Amino acid sequence: MNHDWRHLPAPARPIAAAASAAVLAAQAHDSDALDAATAGLAALDPAQTGLIVGTAVRLLLERAHPDGLDADAVREVLAKSVRAAAAWRPDVDPQVVLYLLAAALGVLDEEATPAPKPAELALHAALLLADLLGAQPPQGLLTAALREIEHTQLND
């Protein structure tokens, strides 16, 4: 499915398109398409990509846990996502998924925790988002994440 991202600001379009393609490939368990899409995602600006993907992950976590997220809930999300991915992607790394969750929730100590390589982050972000989304297409989520970012930037 090709989604039209023209309504987005120019810097966000390639990130939304690449993230969407990566999540769709992960949802379909299509390793070749996932590798191609995550390579494209990893080549984009890491700060902007991280902001968009992290916001998308946070929104999904907030929707799934409206009363708040405790350590047990994070552990459950981590275990479920890693198990789901490991069933078809044996290269899934729980530490990278944990890194993404901590970053999305704003609890990552960036000075004490070295960032994984962009390709690892892109792959694991797609796997995590695919698991959190289930069968839902990613386009609505990415649009919501970009609206959230825009709203936050306008109010800062």
pLDDT band at residue 3, thresholds of 50, 70 and 90? low
The C-alpha atoms of residue 100 and residue 92 are separated, in whole angstroms, by 13
- The residue type of 25 is A
Residue 110 makes CB contacts below 8 A (sequence gap 6+) with none
Checking if the pLDDT of 2 tops 60, the result is no
pLDDT of residue 1: 43
Percent of the chain topping pLDDT 90: 82
The C-alpha atoms of residue 121 and residue 43 are separated, in whole angstroms, by 11
pLDDT of residue 24: 97
Checking if the pLDDT of 153 tops 90, the result is no
List pLDDT tens digits, range 9-21.
778 889 999 999 9
Average pLDDT over all residues of the chain: 93
pLDDT band at residue 132, thresholds of 50, 70 and 90? very high
